[in-house]
Amino acid sequence: MIWQRALEQAVRARTEVYRLEMSAVTHVDVAGADDLAAAALRLEEGRLIELYRPPVPLSRVLDMFWPGLSGIEVAQS
């Protein structure tokens, strides 16, 4: 529930880049990655969700199932 609320806030925000601090997150399952991809697809052109230090498996799942998805950027530092 918290994850979906954060993603909904990202979609509704009026900023070009919405940064999600994820360094304390240890796991996001495929359903959570699907929620993230769906949120990214709802973003207006030119906007993105920046994932700051997400769990490594999340980056791999995104690359595997949603390669080249615009709207999501991963930042490690």
Kindly write down the DSSP assignment for every residue of 2-59, as one continuous string. HHHHHHHHHHH--SSEEEEE-TT-----HHHHHHHHHHHHHSPTT-EEEEES--HHHH
Confidence of residue 76 (pLDDT cuts 50, 70, 90): confident
With a cut of 80, say whether residue 77 has pLDDT above it: no
Confidence of residue 45 (pLDDT cuts 50, 70, 90): very high
Mean pLDDT of 64-73: 93
Confidence of residue 43 (pLDDT cuts 50, 70, 90): very high
Question: CA 57, 63, 65, 66: dihedral to nearest 10 degrees?
Answer: 130
Calpha distance 75→19 (Å, rounded):
10
Task: Tell me the whole-structure pTM to 2 decimals.
Answer: 0.91
